Amino acid sequence: MKKASIVGASLILLILSLQITPFVYADDVAEAVSQHETLAAQYEAKAAEQDALIAEHSPMKKEYEERFWMIKKAGKPKNVLDMDKHCTGIVQNATGLRNELLEFAKWHRMRAAELQGQ
């Protein structure tokens, strides 16, 4: 009997020493939701920057071609090919990065919703 009460008391002391309380996590939920929402907004802002880069370079390629490729029957001049490569690469990379950033934002919004029980 004495041994059971000593084990019971030891268990209680162990639990108290670990400071396990059921309300600790609940206090942090609002902060975690706020952090996830903030990160989502930052990723969406960065995605918008990539949209601006795409919008800048998509027409640039065509405008450069129209301005410097005078003889359509001949092949494209080297400077037009270089600009084509430059703009195409930027648009492809910016599109990929934008898509990844939007996925990050989506994930953070999902986590915030989960924490709110939605």
Distance between CA atoms of 62 and 80, rounded to whole angstroms? 10
Residue numbers of the chain with a pLDDT score lower than 70: 1-27
pTM to 2 decimals? 0.68
Tokens of 82: 């270089």
Q: Which residues of 40-56 are buried (b: 16+ CB within 10 A; e: fewer)?
A: beebbebbeebeebbee
